[in-house]
Amino acid sequence: MTNKPIYDELQGKFRAHFGRYPEVVAYAPGRIEVLGNHTDYNEGFVFSAAIQFGTFFAVAKSVSMGCRLVAGDLMREVTFSADDVKPPPFGYPLSKGGSDTWQNYVKGTFAGLAERKPPAHGFDGMFLGNVPLGSGLSSSAALEMSTGIALAKLYNIATDAVMLAKIGQNAEHTFVGCKCGLLDQISSLAGQENRLVKTDFRSVSYETVNMGAEACFLLCDTRTKHALADGAYNRLRESCEQAAAHFARVLRHPVNAIRDVSMTEWAIYKRGLPEDVANHAAHPIGENERVLKGAKLLSEGNLAGFGAVMFDSHESSRVLFGNSCAELDAVVDAAKKIPGVLGARLSGGGFGGSAVVLVHSRDVETASAALASAYAATFNTPCDVSVIKPAAGAYLV
């Protein structure tokens, strides 16, 4: 079992708190984004991977409509009624105060399931995981997907991966206030050991691609905490939507999303867009092209070429999209100078969090030490460097 010590701890805490063992336990991993940044909500392409860190959600039926939900790390409990689960007040600031905001991920997922089948009873639930918070590894999606799988089983609600992913996404939109795409949820559900997940977010279809045994990833957590619900993520998404509407007016073919615009068309027809909006749009346009190029390089076994595309991706984030930061740039700049490193880029929404670094397996130790040392020399504080290997996706324990 993945992360069995966490599972055992959760079982013990659940029994101590509720006086019984859970009836259902589900697990879902976090994810790294390997290539394809902010393309999911633009109907584009992404390379990602589930990781070996995740979240367990344990649950048992209640004899009433009451629900008791506990965050296992904090041992804090919130209560609500299963037949009265509503989003928090409009404008609720997830990242700026509020009480026990973690509950909204669970309540939003539960509400999405309840739309399919109204609940006949409440539940006692507890979750516990080891995905580092704020590191860009999507602890939120791990919580949503473990919640969704466990509660779907408890309430006997038929689901599939795409449905669960969309329920989790809607929870983020309506209960959290972050207009995310489907990347995090799909990655958590579809992961496989030693394989990357390549997703087409127009058709919401995915396949897994062999990465090979010669390479793995280093995750460099800068400890710069980010919160995507503070509006920055949403503003970037709005720029992409504004640009898509512009290109739909000026191009001679249908444009339903930025995916339908090529870099050549962007260069020729961007006139009329504010400069920042045009630059923001250029990033996902280029990312789509980089993912398709990366897929070809992987099929040829060209890891060095794939790594070079990762470096290009980060530069686009830094220069065009503006979702990098000094800490992430320092990691990527250092990575370019370290033997054995093939590529590096920020992973996830940006504005802090983690950078993902592609390395030859034989160079893991030396590259890890060099990255940590370079970061400490720049910021006088260490960054956490851990080895990441693509892992299996979510499952019912």
Q: What is the distance between the alpha carbons of residues 390 and 51, in angstroms, rounded to a whole number?
A: 5
- Per the residue annotation, which of 40, 124, 184, 363 is the catalytic one? 184
268: Cβ contacts below 8 Å, ≥ 6 apart: none
**Are the beta carbons of 54 and 27 closer than 8 angstroms?**
yes
**Is 184 an annotated catalytic residue?**
yes
Contacts of 267 (CB under 8 A, 6+ apart): none
The closest alpha carbon to 298, from 211, 172, 388, 391, belongs to: 211
Cβ-based burial of 17 (10 A; exposed 0-12, middle 13-18, buried ≥19): middle
**Tokens matching residue 130:** 């080891």
Which uninterrupted H or E stretch holds 46? Answer: strand 45-61
- Reduced to 3 DSSP states, what percent helix, strand and coil does the chain have, rounded to the nearest 5? 45, 20, 35
The DSSP-derived string for 252-269 is: SS--SSGGG--HHHHHHH
- Residue 80, CA distances (Å) to 53, 75, 106 in order: 29, 17, 12
Three-state secondary structure string covering 301-327: CCHHHHHHHHHHHHHHHHHHHCCCCHH
Positions annotated as catalytic residues are 184
